[in-house]
Amino acid sequence: NMRGYWALDPCIPAGGMCVTDSDCCDGKTCENGLCGGEEVCSEIGELCDSAADCCDPNAKCVAGECAMDGPA
């Protein structure tokens, strides 16, 4: 028996053709169909690996998403 499964395509390096920002490697943006724009930061609720990935300097990376501390 054979089982099929989906796997993501590898990311596209700078200068490669893309459709969305998530197609590009290293946080580069997809501009005019090519990877290579500036690195982008993650807004609240978007994916992150560390707090440094978040746009807001006060945000934290919680469970893989940028988040603000709740009320104390």
* 17-71 confidence digits (pLDDT tens): 989 888 888 778 888 888 887 667 888 888 888 898 888 999 999 998 999 975 5
pTM: 0.47
- Contact between 37 and 30 under an 8 Å Cβ cutoff? The reply is yes
- Residue 62 has which token pair? 């919680």
pLDDT at residue 72, rounded to an integer: 46
User: Residue 36: which of 15, 17, 21, 20 has the closest Cα?
Assistant: 15
Give the Cα separation of 53 and 59 in Å (integer). Answer: 9
Amino acid at 61: C
How many helices (H) does the chain have, and how many strands (E)? 0, 4
